Structure 1
Amino acid sequence: TWCSSMYVEPSHRRRGIGQALMSRMLHDDRAFGSRYSALAATHVGALLYPRMGYERIGTLLIFASRSRKTV
């Protein structure tokens, strides 16, 4: 399975909401037979995911041209 773009408003963080969302998602994934999952994380999300049993396997770097023009 894949998790991307999960977000908790800053004013609601540190209340267990992200952990509850992740727990439910993982429970549902297992119920449907998923054996593995991967996710993309921001620096903020990277604080939660290790507590949920994930380990960092790499770093994704995203680049854009300084002028933001497409080629």
Structure 2
Amino acid sequence: MAAYLNLPLTKSVVRRFADMEVFVEIQENVRGEDVFVIQSTSYPANDHLMETLIIIDALRRASARRITAVIPYFGYA
């Protein structure tokens, strides 16, 4: 989608700790930027939903101006 819109992807790291908790690190300055998070909540829906929420939290902590979540498939809907 980013390539189609000719927009850059933000560098980030998403990984899991040994206890399977999600760790997210935004590796670029997003302060004051409009950011779009594109994530499906397909199987495993719980994991993908938590990952999305933690990414949004990390972006808020990084002072993104506006965060828009685009969820083409929303499990539980």
TM-score range normalised by the length of the shorter chain: 0.3 to 0.5
Relative contact order (alpha carbons < 8 A, sep ≥ 6): 1 or 2 greater?
1
Question: Which structure has the highest strand share of the two?
Answer: 2
TM norm structure 2: 0.40
**What TM-score does the superposition give when structure 1 sets the normalisation length?**
0.42
Which structure has greater helix proportion? 1
